[in-house]
Structures are given as structure tokens and as C-alpha cells.
Amino acid sequence: MIVDSHCHFHLLERPESADAALQEAKAAGVGYFLNVAVGVEEHARLTAFSERHKEVFTSIGVHPCGTGEDPSPEQLAALADHPGVVAIGETGLDYGAGSELDYGWQQARFRRHIEAARQAGLPIIVHSRLAPADTLSILQEEHAEEVGGVIHCFVEDAETARGFLDLGFYLSISGIVTFANAKALRQTVSELPLDRLLVETDCPYLAPVPHRGQENRPGWVLEVIECIAELQQLPAAQIAEKTAENFFACFPRAARGALG
Ligand SMILES: [Zn+2]
Ligand SMILES: [Zn+2]
């Protein structure tokens, strides 16, 4: 079994091609998907897609760079009350707009999402870009080990990985691991514990080698699995099986939906 633990079907350039991308990925052997929310405005569309495709789970949350509605923890938890919604997020910190900026509002929003996860009894999907230290300290301060979840698109060093793993979080590896300039990340991934790894595409972003520059598709999660297999010197089938098993351990509501 293969699971794409983080993709955005609804953000494909032509959203009407979401069904085609899904069929293509299923034909390639990908069995389950987590279609991640970046804003609350898209909630009805995401849950409708999950209702139509039982193998597609979804989440509720506002991306750290999101500029739309900013819901309270209570509102997020209420929206999470749907069998297809298996997580809160993506939430977290993105310091990509410049180090001179005040990111206090992002930090407050991140903390509200952790509170929502606690209320909803669901894990969180964490986006952390150029902010490893602050991400880790907010997770620690808010006792995020009580809700659990995943650091999606993990690109940090081994020491930062250890901090997240110590909190019980999973690390999700994206197509970045295949990029020519990702030598340090490949070294780190070669040493990460397989029982805490997930794989993702972050489709439509971050298409893996050899598809770089194109719109990413969930079917290309296979390239990520192949790359990890090479780094960990294990069969690709074993990486696929284990990361799928980890996915369902990380997101128990998905396990109930998929595995009964
Ligand atoms: Zn993200
Ligand atoms: Zn994403």
C-alpha cells in the first residue's frame, strides 16, 4: 500500500483535473491521500471531495501564510466534526517573507490550531519553513505531544529531527529529497528511523526529480519512496508499506475510515 500523506488536489492549476490526477495516482498504486486544507473557505469543497472519494481524507486549518478568515479554536474544532476530516492544519510557521518581519501573529495562529486539535481530539499537520527553533519551542510550550501529528515537508537537520521525534511527531519527506542541491537532507534522511517517516508530494508544488518544474501530481510520491529506499538501502516496497502503516498510526480517524 502507498499513501500520499500531504497533497492539495484543489490547488491544481485546473481544479477540474483533480479527479484525473486521483485516477492516475490510483493506477500508479497510491491507495490513500490526505488532501490538506490551507484555508477554511475551501472546507465544503474538501469535505465533498472526500465524500465522493472515500480514499481521500482531508483536514481543516489555515496555512501560516493564509490571508483569509482566521477562525477560533472552537470554530476549527466544530468544522473538524466530519468523518473525512482526520487532522487540524496545515498550520505552523513560515518565515519565508523576510527575517525582519514580526511573525507574532503567525505564532498566535499556530497556538490556536494546537488548541483546536486538543478540542477536536485530532493530530496536527505542521508546516515549518525557515523557523525550526520557534516551531519546536511552540510545540513544546503548547504540549503538542498530547495531540501528535506530522512535520510535513521535513527539510531540517538531524538535531532538529530529534527534537520533533522526541515529541512523538512523525516526519514527512517530500520530493525535495530528490533535488540536486539537497545533499545534506539526503544524509539526514538516510539516518532517520523508518518507523517515524511518512511520504508526501505536496502536489501541486515540489515536483520530484525527474519531473522538476512541472505541476506535481500525487502519483509521483513513488519517486520520493524510491529515493528513500536508496538512502536507507531497503526495498522500495518496504518503504511504501511502512510509511503507509505510519500514516494510519499518525491519523487514527483515517485508520477507522479506511481499515474499518
Ligand atoms: Zn506546507
Ligand atoms: Zn501543503
pLDDT for 37-87, tens place per residue? 999 999 999 999 999 999 999 999 999 999 999 999 999 999 999 999 999
Ligand 1 centre from 10 Cα, in Å?
A: 14
206: CA distance to ligand 2 center in Å? 10
Cell numbers at 75, concatenated: 470554530
Distance from C-alpha of 114 to C-alpha of 89, rounded to nearest angstrom: 9
The CATH number assigned to the domain holding 125 equals: 3.20.20.140
pLDDT value of position 167? 98
213-231 pLDDT, tens digit per residue, is 999 999 999 999 999 999 9
Ligand 2 midpoint to CA 148 (Å): 18
Report CA(193)–ligand 1 centroid distance (Å).
22
State the distance from the centre of ligand 1 to the C-alpha of 64, rounded, in angstroms: 8
As a whole number of angstroms, the distance between CA 107 and CA 94 comes to 10
pLDDT in tens, 99-112: 778 899 999 999 99
Helix intervals (H) in 53-193:
73-79, 104-120, 132-141, 158-166, 183-191
Ligand at shortest distance from the CA of 91: 1
What lies within 8 Å, CB to CB, of 112 at 6+ separation is 71, 72, 73, 76
What's the rounded Cα separation, in Å, for the pair 215 and 205? Answer: 6
**Ligand 2 centre distance from Cα of residue 191 (Å):** 24
Cα–ligand 2 centroid distance for 217 (angstroms) = 13
Å from CA of 204 to ligand 2 middle: 9
d(C-alpha 150, C-alpha 172), whole Å: 7
pLDDT at 174: 97
Ligand 1 midpoint to CA 177 (Å): 15
What does the alpha-carbon distance between residue 138 and residue 51 come to, in Å, rounded to a whole number?
A: 34
Ligand sitting nearest the alpha carbon of 7: 2
pLDDT at 147: 98
Q: Distance between CA atoms of 228 and 8, rounded to whole angstroms? A: 22
**Domain count along the chain:** 1
Q: Which domain holds residue 179?
A: 2-259
| Rg (the chain; Cα; Å) | 17
Q: Which residues contact 191 (CB under 8 A, 6 or more apart)?
A: 158
The closest ligand to the CA of 36 turns out to be: 2
Q: How far is the CA of 229 from the centre of ligand 1 (A)?
A: 24
Distance 125 CA to ligand 1 centre (A): 9
